[in-house]
Amino acid sequence: MQTAYYYLALSGVLTLLLWTPYILARAFVWGIPSFLHNYPEKFPQEQPTQPLWAARAQRAHLNMVETMPALIAVIVAAGFIAPQTAHADIAMWSQVFFFSRVLHAVVYIAGVPFLRTPVYLVSWASVLMIGAATLL
């Protein structure tokens, strides 16, 4: 289970880091003084236009935030109730999840639509496989 916990921690760090690109873009677009004062003048009625890649980065981050609770639940449950024989499979699927989410972020931010959904589905299937290895 050490490997699964390691990749769970890496996934948590990835979640924390995924906000960085769009926050930096916001600081650049709004200007440092407005950014440091929390919101530009007349926000949100006159919100500065965000670059398209930054909007995609924000959606990639939110997608990861939405996925993390399920991953945390199945890996923590696996630590308590998964049979010893399932630990290798759980570790493998944890790795698959992490690397597919890194690729998902890159593909999403770059705006490659035909790869985004399949890569997401790999990460989604990984969570299901961890759950199946834990419960079956």
- Best-predicted range by mean pLDDT (20-24, 49-53, 125-129): 125-129
Q: What is the pLDDT of residues 30-80, one digit of tens each?
A: 888 777 776 666 665 667 788 999 999 999 999 999 999 999 999 999 999
Q: Which residues contact 126 (CB under 8 A, 6 or more apart)?
A: 93, 94, 96, 97, 100
Angle made by CA atoms 134, 97, 55, in degrees to the nearest 5: 135
Confidence band (pLDDT; 50, 70, 90) for 97? very high
C-alpha distance from residue 4 to each of 39, 107, 115 (Å)? 40, 24, 26
Q: Residue 101: inside a domain, yes or no?
A: yes
Number of domains the chain is built from? 1
Q: The domain containing residue 6 runs over which residues?
A: 2-18+51-135
What's the pTM value of the predicted model, to 2 decimals?
0.91
Q: Residue 41: inside a domain, yes or no?
A: no
Written as six digits, the tokens of 26 are 């916001």
